[in-house]
Chains A and B, each alone.
Chain A
Amino acid sequence: MQEIEISQLRALTDIIKQRHDYDFGNYAMSSFRRRIQRVLELYKFASFDALMEKLQNSDSKFFQEFLSEITVNVTEMFRDPTLWVELRENILPAMLTDNKTVSIWHAGCSSGEEVFSMAITLKEMNLLDRVRIVATDIDNAILARARDGAYSIKNMELNQKNYERAKGLYSLDAYYKEQNGKAHFDKSLVKDVSFREHNLVSEVSFAKFDLILCRNVMIYFNQTLQNQVLKVFHESLHKNSFLAIGSKESLIWCEIASKFSVINNEEKIYKKVKE
């Protein structure tokens, strides 16, 4: 199949915006192109124009499937174990010094591995009942999977390894039951988690948090959109609260950089220091 040109991608994002009210115009183009290429192959579209036509004429059912396919949902439990050690030993204790309740936002939570990792970490610190967790994603279908907390058993070897490197106290299998090739995690871990649909592209701040985790999500946005989303995060953080981004992301090139200080450069944890 022919390679997709930038002008075609522009036409595609225009149609999606008009017909389905989602704006992908400021997504990073190189990865967006690959996602579209992937959809063309997955659904065996005869041409790029056939996909355009389908998006123009389709109901929301096809669009929801399309949305699930173009968003990247590759993740692990305790991804970057050293970050989780830092959270466990320094960041979470600093947040929870007095007896107050704190809140955490997992922005772009995908299938929920990070949310379960957080809940397990907090439970092992005896702090789970003092933390209010909100987990959001653009894709409703993936949120349903996050709520379900059932992951392929073949991922558990890696997840267990990550958990050990993250200085987990027990064994990861203490938290799940194996059934039909899946690890079904203890749902009481996330019983107080609010999973909700939220599009970082178009929405504004909806609450204040003590910690926001948005790891490997903004890499799919261009700099303009990153700046816009970081403004929302800045508004959504109390002063002296924390932001954690992916280990190979950086705020250096972002407008908002001066309002944050670096707490841990290896793990990319920042603190909001200015309103």
Chain B
Amino acid sequence: MHNRFQLDDHYRAIVIGGSAGSFQVISKILSSLPVDFELPIAMCLHRLRHVRNGFVEALNIKSTIIIKEPYDKEPIRKGNIYLAPANYHLGLEIGNSFALTTEELLNNSRPAIDILLSSAAQVYGKRVVGILLSGANKDGAVGMKHIKERGGLTIIQDPKECLIDTMPVSAQKITTIDYSLDVQGIIDLLLELNLRVKLSKDKV
């Protein structure tokens, strides 16, 4: 089972975007990761702009790893999981840190998934894995395209399984998607990826 996806071992970060219908999905993923998961995960989930507290706490109920909302300039650490805070865009910056901004809404959203995914493509190139889940608008599609253009891995939640499939389908329309998987498939891929990355480090 550990070779189902034939993954490379050069990945260094995972970025996840989700919107309507993604909360249960992301909760399930987060409850299935080992506590010593190797790679940092940054998530942008559409959320109420003016409710600062509550969301990360709700996700933390199920998550095996404590999720935090990063500060601007906070260094990205392996094995940590980060969530874009309310009313800020979350991006990655050269030098392996987070960048928060208050720029205009993008795709009617702040945080916007495109900003996280595109900046991850800029900073990590082929070393990033982008995952796009259920959602009702097209946010994230352009970001997935940027990830693909720079050689990263693109994964969507199988539209057939999505509560609302607009988001993954929009990405599919404009770029190549490497894997379209149901939730269990996404979890299996992340577990396999974790093993691959761990093994490659043991070799060095």
Contact = CB atoms under 8 A, between A and B. Distances in A.
**A pairs with B:** yes
Contacts of B85: 248
B52 A247 contact: yes
A50 interface: no
B88 A31 contact: no
Interface residues of A, number: 30
Given A30-B99, A72-B101, A74-B103, A248 B94 contact: no
Contact of B72 (A29, A75, A248): A248
A30 B100 contact: no
Contacts of A158: 50
Contacts of B76: none
Given A72-B101, A248-B100, A30 B72 contact: no
B175 interface: no
A164 B123 CA distance: 41
Interface stretch (A118-126, A132-140, A218-226): A218-226
Contact of B122 (A30, A246, A253): A30
Given A30-B94, A30-B122, A248-B85, A72 B102 contact: yes
Contacts of B101: 31, 72, 216, 219-220
A31 B119 CA distance: 9
Interface string B71-110: 1111100000000010010011110000111111000000
Interface of A: 3, 6, 28-31, 33-35, 72, 74-75, 80, 82, 158, 161-162, 216, 218-220, 223, 226, 246-250, 252-253
Given A74-B102, A246-B100, A249-B72, 13 more contacts: A3-B146, A30-B91, A30-B92, A30-B93, A30-B99, A30-B119, A31-B91, A33-B122, A82-B52, A218-B72, A219-B99, A248-B71, A250-B71
Interface of B: 50, 52, 69-75, 85, 88, 91-94, 99-104, 115, 119, 122-123, 146
28 contacts: A3-B146, A6-B94, A28-B93, A28-B99, A30-B91, A30-B92, A30-B93, A30-B122, A30-B123, A74-B102, A75-B102, A158-B50, A219-B72, A219-B99, A226-B73, A246-B72, A246-B102, A247-B52, A248-B70, A248-B71, A248-B88, A248-B100, A249-B100, A250-B71, A250-B73, A250-B74, A253-B73, A253-B75
